[in-house]
Amino acid sequence: MSSAISKTIDSERVFKYLLIAPAVFVILLIGLYPLIKLIVTSFQNISMFDNDLSYQGFINYERLLDDDRLWKSLLHTIIFTAIALPIELVLGYLLALLFLEKLPFKQTLVAIILLPTIISPIVAGSIWRLMLDQRFGPINQIIAWFAGGDVRLLWTVETALVWPAILIAEVWQWTPFMFLLLLAALSNVDKEQLEAAQIDGASWWMTFRRIVLPAIMPVMFIAVLIRALDLFRVFDVIWTMTQGGPGTFTETISIYAYQMAFREFEISYSSAIAFLVIFLLTVTVVWALRRVEVSR
Amino acid sequence: MPDLCLTDINKYYGDVHAVKNVSLEVPSGEFVVLVGPSGCGKSTLLRSIAGLEDISDGDIKLGQRSIAGLAPRDRNIAMVFQSYALYPYLSVYENIAFGLRARKTPQAEIDRQVAWASDVLDIGDYLKRFPRELSGGQRQRVAIGRAIVRDADLFLFDEPLSNLDAKLRDGMREEIKRLHEKLGKTFIYVTHDQIEAMTLAQRIILLRDGEIEQAGAPLDLFERPNNTYVAGFLGSPTMNFVEVTVKDGSMVLPDGQALSVNGAIRDGAYTWGVRPEHFSQSDEGGQGLRAKLEVIQPTGSRSYGTFHLAGVHLIAELGAHVGEQDRREVTLSVALERTVFFDKASGKAVG
Amino acid sequence: MIRWDRGWRLTLRVACALMVTIVFLFPVYWLAAISIKTPNEIYSYPPVWLPAQVNLSSYMTLFRDGDAWSVWHSLVTAGVSTVFAMFIGTIAAYSIVRFRTGGDHLAIWIISQRMIPPICVAFPIFLLYVSWQIVDTYVGLILLYTAFNVPYVTWMMRGYIQEIPLELEQSAMVDGLTRWSVLWKVVMPMARAGLFATAVFTFIFAWNDFLFALILTKSEVVTYTVKVTGYFGSQSTFWSKIGAMSMLGVLPMILVVGTMQRFIVRGISLGAVKG
């Protein structure tokens, strides 16, 4: 009897490891190996000119501290994230409220609204670059209608306009994502609790704060986490619209890292940058998750 | 405390006429039970009183003021939901205090009221806990606590015991009855369970397809049902129905057996309604009906016997110790004066 | 009780909903319009809102020049990698859910891989590919997209598999099926909706990728995203080509989402609600 059981247990063990092996293998390849290479390279001195594989200590990391362009790009990234995220969240929430109750053609409308999210960020950036074109773009034309005269805003060139332009493209593309998630979460709020609150006489704000918000918090948290990470790593849409320009005005950390690695061939230095980014992200995520655990 | 008055309430869901011309007066302090099968309109009616549904037509008055167009929060009512609807992210204390906080009651007053409610319902030990940590029965008490802590004019209950197991239900029934006596407020209680209706109500309103079939004290409906529907709804096991003909002062059953009715009923065809407890086992050769006992279901304090009589299966209440040896043809005597005759065509009670 | 689903309130909501939909739809419309405009219409001021007729010359140019092949490259790489990722990710998810393989740590590690910024690992992977000689090959891109999507697939399928009652599998095993058969004959069919939704999104991630396609392709397997950016020049910007190529990249997405509407809407929401 016992040998039959242990046989099943053994074959089960083999089975479960077999199932997970391909995934682990593939991830190790693309996840772990590059990381190790990154760390190793960051301690070397490889660039376009030098191919020095010897251990160079922390010179690359020291260089990080003095690099103005790096910290500027980091600042750009953080401010960009800090502005886009709340906008997407609030707009998404308002949209979800609008669509919450019965509505004719709801499913079709929701599917159409989802379009921006499913197209490539490259295409999104391209579309907005075309839309915001100073001469032939419809946006300037629409503004001209309101302003009364010709409008020739150089959205992708003027420093006052570039970031708004990028934000418009970004918010346009990702608000639907928030919208969909929040719509699902709001639909799942227990109707009876809302009715009880009505009978208890709670105001709209009290109902929101004490019943709705706690109920949608898990979904909101995930949504915010995913978007925050994506915003931090943003590359495609900015690349298409301004390539980080004018100059380095709209350069984010990902664009800077790309420039260092693939344009200037500062391999070792870009590895250090990459490592810094991973470090910052990990710290932030761990901190965020800790906060969630504590509040539980 | 104001009286509740429903006048000609009509409610349509699209084309479906869910509530048809219902009028009802509930004097202050009465315990009224709306009972009926699924889809009869009882919950719709309750929710209309609460303001959670709009009525298509008619008026609802609480005392002198009409509350038909008011939002739930302005009607001064309290409600206990079937699935409790407790706020999961608030403690028991906060759940009960919720309505008071919404009305900006001072903290000291809130403390007092919550203490009082938790005392009445014996939930003082759980005030700091959260709903997910409580059992079904405890949650139900908290839901009731949340309702009674406000000084509402009307207390609405929407099938509050449906989600509890049988034993718990029995205990809660008693508690709700005591609660009503203690508070003296008007209770409107919806259930599909006829036992809850019988045991709790001062007045039962039996609904079918959106209309009131019969309204009255429980025993009234039980002993003098208006029609076969009411008769069949109340009572467990259900009333037996037999097709009979009355001719020349005699009631004739389909198999030819006859009983004298002494002219109390006119000649004609009827549906005869007789409850299990109207039968008793007669002595050998006594006056009564011959029937064959087929199945015996003992419950401990008594037994229910299924009899084959005149082509119909009847259930009769028998003594506790009926056994295998009694499975034969026996004579059943009937307390005719307690049975009810219904017109065969319309189902309405006669006589 | 204030009802927002009837009367003037409903009309207001419908009007707002329509306006919002138009706002989100308009840029895509504009793109489609550009792709069928004549050069005169494209470069006209004030802009032409509705093209006079459907002009497919921009598309023709792409096909003639062979640029349209990039759509094929995208299709192959995204499609094949999706199949692989779905397979590897789903069986891994099953292992995690039913056998708790590796406990919580393994699951967290796999799922956290999704957070890696592509740019960070881009160069090391490039070097790796150079040494393996798989730069600018189908194999290279497929391997990469598969690897990057496995964490996402595992995460999503984990949620869906958890919803399947254990009794179903146990009953199948009592009936004599092996564990492998149970996985394919019982679990997969039940998780159909989740599989669809996840597959759609996996495909979309790979289809829309830019950075890796940029770095790991040169001329042989250039995907449409890279091609599109190529049309933006400092000297001249080929709007007609940008429009047409972008539409070629967008149309499949519209098709996919259009047919799978129901699944997708449920898929995103379920995934997040469970996550």
Domain ranges of chain C: 7-55, 60-274
Domain of B332, in residue numbers = 240-350
**In this structure, are B213 and B284 located in the same domain?**
no
The pLDDT value recorded for residue B190 is 96
In DSSP notation, C57-68 reads: HHHHHHHHHTTT
Q: Which of C34, C49, C272 sits opposite A223 (nearest CB)?
A: C272
Peptide bond into C47 cis (omega under 30): no
Give partners of C (≥3 CB pairs < 8 A): A, B
Chain B partners within 8 Å of C3 (Cβ)? 54
Asked whether C211 and C31 are in contact (CB, 8 A), the reply is no
Distance, in angstroms, between C261 CA and closest chain A CA?
Answer: 6
- Please give the DSSP secondary-structure letter assigned to residue C237: B
Angstrom distance (rounded) from CA C201 to CA C114: 14
Q: What count of other Cβ atoms lies within 10 Å of the Cβ of residue B187? A: 24
CB A257 within 8 A of CB A277: yes
Rounded to a whole number of angstroms, the distance from the CA of B72 to the nearest CA of chain A is 5
**B215 and B245 housed in the same domain:** no
Give Cβ neighbours of residue C209 (< 8 Å, ≥ 6 apart): A120, C145, C223, C225
Cα–Cα distances (Å) from C81 to A158, B100, B195, C76, C148, in that order, read 41, 59, 63, 8, 10
In this structure, the answer to whether residues B130 and B70 fall within a common structural domain is yes
**CA distance to B247, B309, B343, C88, per residue, from B256 (Å):** 12, 10, 20, 78
CB pair distance less than 8 Å for A201 and B88: no
Q: CATH number, domain at B245?
A: 2.40.50.140
Domain match, B219 and B341 both: no
Greatest alpha-carbon pair distance for chain C in Å reads 74
With an 8 Å Cβ cutoff, are B99 and A214 in contact? no
For chain C, say whether A214 makes contact (Cβ under 8 Å): no
Q: Which amino acid is at A101?
A: E
Which residues, given as ranges, of chain C have pLDDT below 50? 274-275
CA-based nearest residue in chain C for residue B51: C1
Put simply, whether A259 touches C (Cβ < 8 Å) is no
Domains contained in chain B, number: 2
- CA proximity to A218, closest of C262, B89, C111, C149: B89
The answer to whether residues B1 and B153 touch, using CB atoms and an 8 Å cutoff, is yes
Contacts of B82 in chain A (CB under 8 A): 192
Residues in chain B: 351
Residue-level pLDDT at B285: 54
Q: Which residue has the tokens 């350069």?
A: A251
Cα C271 from Cα C34, distance rounded (Å)? 36
Return the CATH number of A67-295, one of 3.30.420.10, 1.10.3720.10, 3.40.640.10, 1.10.357.10: 1.10.3720.10
The ipTM, to two decimals, is 0.84
- Whole-angstrom distance, CA of residue B35 vs CA of residue C10: 35
Domain positions in chain A are 67-295
d(CA B341, CA A8) in angstroms, rounded, equals: 70
Q: Tell how far CA A155 is from the center of its chain.
A: 23
Please indicate if any CB of chain B lies within 8 Å of the CB of A189.
Answer: no
CA separation for the pair B19, B39 (Å, rounded): 10
CATH superfamily name and code, C60-274: MetI-like (1.10.3720.10)
List B348's β-bridge partners, or say none.
B227
CB-side exposure of B45: number of CA atoms within 13 Å?
Answer: 35
Residue with tokens 């890696």: C116
Residue-level pLDDT at A166: 93
Q: Tell whether B317 and B272 lie within a shared domain.
A: yes
Tens of pLDDT, residue by residue, chain A (296 residues) = 456 666 667 777 888 888 888 988 988 888 888 888 888 888 877 776 666 677 777 888 888 888 888 999 999 999 999 999 999 999 999 999 999 888 888 888 988 998 899 899 999 999 998 888 887 888 888 888 888 777 778 888 888 889 999 999 999 999 999 998 898 889 888 888 999 998 988 888 899 999 999 988 888 888 898 899 899 999 999 999 888 878 888 999 999 999 888 888 888 888 888 888 888 888 888 888 787 776 65
Question: Which DSSP symbol is given to A48?
Answer: S
Mutation pick from C6, C24, C143 vs chain A, by most beta carbons of A within 10 Å, is: C24
- B57-62 and B268-274 as β-strands: parallel, antiparallel, unpaired? unpaired
Pair B188, B42 in one domain: yes
Q: Would an 8 Å CB–CB cutoff place A209 in contact with chain B?
A: no
In this prediction, residue C266 carries a pLDDT of 62
Q: Count of CB contacts below 8 A, B vs C?
A: 8
The Cα angle at residue B25 between residues B24 and B30, in degrees rounded to 5:
120
pLDDT in tens, chain B (351 residues): 788 999 999 998 888 899 999 999 999 999 999 999 988 999 999 999 998 888 888 999 998 889 888 888 888 899 999 888 888 888 999 999 988 888 888 999 999 999 999 998 989 888 999 998 999 889 999 999 999 998 888 999 999 998 888 888 988 999 999 999 999 999 999 999 999 999 999 999 999 999 999 999 999 999 999 999 999 999 889 999 988 888 888 888 888 888 887 777 788 888 989 999 988 877 655 568 888 888 889 888 888 989 888 778 889 888 878 777 777 788 888 888 888 889 888 888 886
**CA angle, corner B198, sides to B192 and B201, nearest 5?**
95
Chain C 3-42, CB below 8 Å of chain B: which residues? Answer: 3
Are B64 and B164 members of one domain? Answer: yes
Q: Which residue of B has its CA nearest to C2?
A: B71
Q: Quick check: B71 and C2 CB within 8 A? A: yes
C-alpha span between C232 and C156 (Å, rounded): 37
Contacts C124 to A, Cβ<8 Å: 33-35, 37-38, 41, 271
Would an 8 Å CB–CB cutoff place A287 in contact with chain C? no
Q: Which residues pair with B303 in a beta bridge?
A: B298, B318
Cβ contact (<8 Å) for B83 and A202?
A: no
Q: Comparing C-alpha atoms, which of A60, A49, A94, A56 is closest to residue A208?
A: A94
> Which partners does chain B have (≥3 C-beta pairs < 8 Å)?
A, C
Q: Do C3 and B52 touch (CB under 8 A)?
A: no
Quote the pLDDT of residue B321.
Answer: 80
The structure tokens 């204030």 sit at C2
Same domain, B229 and B282: no
Distances (CA, A) of A87 to A18, A77, A162, A176, A233: 45, 16, 17, 12, 18
